[in-house]
Amino acid sequence: MPLRAILDNQELLAPLLSDEEWEELKRKKVQVILPCCEARGHLRTSKLGTKHFAHNKKDGCN
């Protein structure tokens, strides 16, 4: 699961964001680019509560 992504031209590490920042990014529906393959992605929280990014397409690179 990618932890790093580009949001609004700014590189972010998901685990370093507070819950409030994370929720705000979700609410704003900011565009997420995954640097691994420059594909579009989105914010996701795992069952264990780990903030991370996910590829929009299921056949993402990882």
Among 1, 3, 13, 37, binds Zn ion (CB under 5 A): 37
Q: Nearest approach, Cβ of 9 to Zn ion (angstroms)? A: 18
Nearer to Zn ion, 42 or 60 (CB): 60
Q: Nearest approach, Cβ of 45 to Zn ion (angstroms)? A: 19
1 binds Zn ion per the rule CB under 5 A: no
13 binds Zn ion per the rule CB under 5 A: no
Contact of 51 with 15, CB cutoff 8 Å? yes
Question: What distances in angstroms separate CA 24 from CA 6, 37, 45, one per listed residue?
Answer: 16, 25, 14
Rounded to whole angstroms, the Cα distance separating 32 from 35 reads: 10
